[in-house]
Structure formats: structure tokens, C-alpha cells
Amino acid sequence: MAKPLLVVGNKNYSSWSLRPFMALAMAAIDFDEKLVPFDQPIGNPAFSKKIRAFSKAELVPVLVHSKITVWDSLAIMEYLAETWPDRNLWPKTKAARAMARSACAEMHSGFKNLRTACPMNLRRPIRAVPMSDAVKADVARIESLWRECRKEHGKGGPFLFGKFGIADAMFAPVATRLETYDIKIAQDTQHYVNAVLATPAFHEWKDAALKEKWVVAEDEVD
């Protein structure tokens, strides 16, 4: 089978790109990668022009596999699960899959307050920022959601559904935000964050991110 190509943005900032990268790397799927750096400011037509060669949506991430293009992080991971079913990117039971899919959908369309106040920025020194009640509410919801997934389906390992899967990839950028912005969390949440940030896939991504020189002003909150 031909190798898929994953098109990503700046590793320091592109939270949506990190997700399918984590899924591919943790599932040991052999893939090529192309990084298209964001131009400044975001929305600059030069980035759009470069990314348009891969996707009319003009956003990263994009996965190109043979003649198939998939242009959204969650859609990409669904495609991976379907194409490499032996990698068990979704949990095995229907009940766990239903919960994992709901958690992914909630992440995909929600937690705007946390995402806006605390953009993913892997290079930023760990430092707290003042948190609004809306951001605190997002964090509280995330903690209770993670706790529920782990309680119901997480017995087989340190991740949300035991073994690393798509739900963990979806929440990986949140794990980085909790660390970078020194957000106060419960001990069980901290264990889960540690497990995600200790994965070889995340280390590989972060090492590359730390070497980048590009600065995206919109994502620098200090």
C-alpha cells in the first residue's frame, strides 16, 4: 500500500495538525510528512495558495493517500481507523466507541474558551495566565469527561480507553495547554496528561517544534 502524506502546519502552534500526527505515529503507520509554515498574519494569501495545492479548505492538516484526500483532523483519523483496522485506533467495544466518538466530537466543536485563551505553544515557558470563569468551566468539563472515560473504559492502560487511540490524539493539544499554562488540575488528570506527553510520538513532534523559528503573534499571549 502507498504511504500516506500528512500535510501539517507549524509544529509549535498547529494543534489540529498534532492530532493526526499522534494517531499515525502511535499506530506505527508509515507516512511521509510535509510542513507548510503559516504566513504572517494568519489568513495571508501566500499560505492559502500553498495549502490550496492540497485542499480547497485551505487549512491544515490534510492527508493524501493514493488518489484520496482527507482534509480535517477527525476525518483523517476516521480514515486511518478504516484503512488500518488492525491498529485499533477506536476502542474494541461498541459502548466504548460510542463514548470515544462523543468525546472526540465534543473536543472538535467545543472548548473554545480554553482554546482561545491558551493557544497551543510548545515553546512557551511554563507560566500561568489569569483564567476567566469560562476557561475554568472548560477545564472542569474536560477533567470530568476524561475521568468518566477512564473509569468506564480505561482499565487496560493509562489512556482514555486504555490503549492509545483517536480520543487521546484529539485531546493531546489540551494536555500541552494544561502544562504550558500551568493550569491547576486534579491528580488523576495530571497522570493522564503525563501519559500523553510521555509518548514517543509527542516527543518527536515537540523536538521538531522547539527547533522552529517562526513566530505566530496571534498565538503568543504574553
- Among the listed residues 14, 55, 180, 189, the single contact to ligand GSH using CB under 6 A: 14
Nearer to ligand GSH, 166 or 185 (CB): 166
- CB 4, min distance to ligand GSH, A: 15
Grid coordinates belonging to 1:
500500500
| Interaction between residue 189 and ligand GSH (CB under 6 A) | no
- Among the listed residues 59, 142, 160, 175, the single contact to ligand GSH using CB under 6 A: 59
| Nearest in space to 134 (alpha carbons), one of 105, 112, 108, 119 | 112
Q: Any idea of the CA torsion for 107, 202, 95, 186, to the nearest 10 degrees?
A: -70
Using the rule CB under 6 A, give the single segment among 58-66, 111-119, 143-151, 176-184 that binds ligand GSH.
Answer: 58-66
Grid coordinates belonging to 33:
510528512
Q: Find out whether 162 and 169 touch, Cβ atoms under 8 Å.
A: no
- Say which residues have a Cβ less than 8 Å from residue 39's Cβ, sequence separation at least 6: 46, 47
- By CB under 6 A, how many residues form the interface with ligand GSH? 15
Name residues contacting ligand GSH, limited to 116-175 (CB under 6 A): none
Q: In which residue are the cell numbers 485563551 written?
A: 117
| Nearest in space to 85 (alpha carbons), one of 32, 27, 30 | 27
Nearer to ligand GSH, 27 or 59 (CB): 59
- CB 40, min distance to ligand GSH, A: 11
CA dihedral over 195, 197, 198, 204, signed as positive or negative: positive
Identify any residues that bridge with 35 across adjacent strands, giving them in sequence order: 8
Name residues contacting ligand GSH, limited to 68-97 (CB under 6 A): 72-74
Nearer to ligand GSH, 152 or 218 (CB): 218
| Interaction between residue 176 and ligand GSH (CB under 6 A) | no
Using the rule CB under 6 A, give the single segment among 41-49, 122-130, 149-157, 197-205 that binds ligand GSH.
Answer: 41-49
State the Rg of the chain over Cα: 17
- CB 12, min distance to ligand GSH, A: 11
Crossing angle between the packed helical segments 73-83 and 94-109, to the nearest 10 degrees = 160
- CB 92, min distance to ligand GSH, A: 25
The residue ranges that bind ligand GSH (CB under 6 A) are 9, 14-17, 38, 42-43, 47, 59-61, 72-74
